[in-house]
Amino acid sequence: QQQVKQSPQSLIVQKGGISIINCAYENTAFDYFPWYQQFPGKGPALLIAIRPDVSEKKEGRFTISFNKSAKQFSLHIMDSQPGDSATYFCAALQTGANNLFFGTGTRLTVIP
Amino acid sequence: GAGVSQSPSNKVTEKGKDVELRCDPISGHTALYWYRQRLGQGLEFLIYFQGNSAPDKSGLPSDRFSAERTGESVSTLTIQRTQQEDSAVYLCASSLRRAGELFFGEGSRLTVL
């Protein structure tokens, strides 16, 4: 059973455009939602994270939007650049638990 | 080292053989995780170590899989009698504390022929 559902599976965006990746979850006990970025041949690296006490968090061109009632959160990449081309994973964690549940990933390609 | 180190980076083995994968976490990180990443799939939790506590083995897919870690040092993931469905990238991550930011290694790509 997939604890975190992620879409789309792949995404192609023009340079300068906005990339949007969506995730949904069922477990209302989740209280920490990070996004990880993975380049080919590398391990994932933390990009940005949010807790459900806020509806939005912004770091540079990257923004997480969080909708607690809908149990959904999304990553927005503004002014997308070719260097943003990577696979993005959303994840969710319940405080006190050991396991970070990951989505299935979105392969983003930003074309010049 | 500066980051999480994994070896081997690539391993090709024949079905039925045993393999051992190694992870050297960031110094001082008490938490260590193993994840499996199949082609085009998300990260599948395998096992978690926290200091000298009993490991959380709830993600291990079968009794052919086992892992060890001594204290806060190196961990080894062992897969016995490998099967073709074991082919994947095995990622190790360490963290300063449970469920903190995970720092991943580059993974060990296992191919079972």
| C-alpha distances in Å from residue A67, one per residue of A52, A75, A89, B8, B66 | 8, 12, 18, 42, 39
Residue A1 pLDDT > 70, yes or no?
no
Give bridge partners of residue B90 from the DSSP assignment.
B36, B108
For chain B, how big is the Rg over CA atoms in Å?
A: 13
- Is the predicted pLDDT of residue B1 greater than 60, yes or no? no
- Per the CB < 8 A criterion, the answer to whether A103 and B42 are in contact is yes
Chain A segment 42-101 residues within 8 A of B by beta carbon are 42-46, 49, 89, 93, 95, 97-101
What rounded mean pLDDT belongs to chain A? 94
What is the model's pLDDT at position B99? 67
Q: Using CB atoms, which residue from A6, A41, A43 is nearest to B104?
A: A43
Output the pLDDT for position A2: 77
Mutate: best of B43, B56, B58, B60, partner A, most A CBs <10 A:
B43
Of A74, A72, A71, A79, the C-alpha closest to A63 is A74
What average pLDDT does this structure show over B1-30?
94
What is the maximum alpha-carbon separation in chain A?
43
Helix, strand or coil, per DSSP, at residue B1: coil
- E strands present in A1-112: 4-7, 10-14, 19-25, 33-38, 45-50, 56-59, 62-67, 72-77, 86-92, 101-102, 106-111
Is B56 in contact with A98 (Cβ distance < 8 A)?
Answer: yes
How many percent of chain B have pLDDT more than 70?
97
B80: pLDDT confidence band, cut at 50, 70 and 90?
A: very high
CA of A30: how far to CAs of A23, A26, A104, B3, in Å? 13, 9, 17, 28
Q: Is the confidence at residue B113, as pLDDT, over 70?
A: yes
- Residue pLDDT, tens place only, B20-66: 999 999 998 989 999 999 987 889 999 999 988 889 999 999 999 99
The 10s digit of each residue's pLDDT in A6-30 is: 999 999 999 999 999 999 999 999 9
pLDDT (mean) for A40-68: 93
Say if residue B3's pLDDT is above 60: yes
Cβ count within 10 A of residue B85? 9
CA–CA min distance A72, chain B (Å): 18
The residues, ordered by sequence, that sit 6+ positions from A1 with a Cβ below 8 Å of its Cβ are: none
The mean predicted confidence, pLDDT, of chain B is: 92
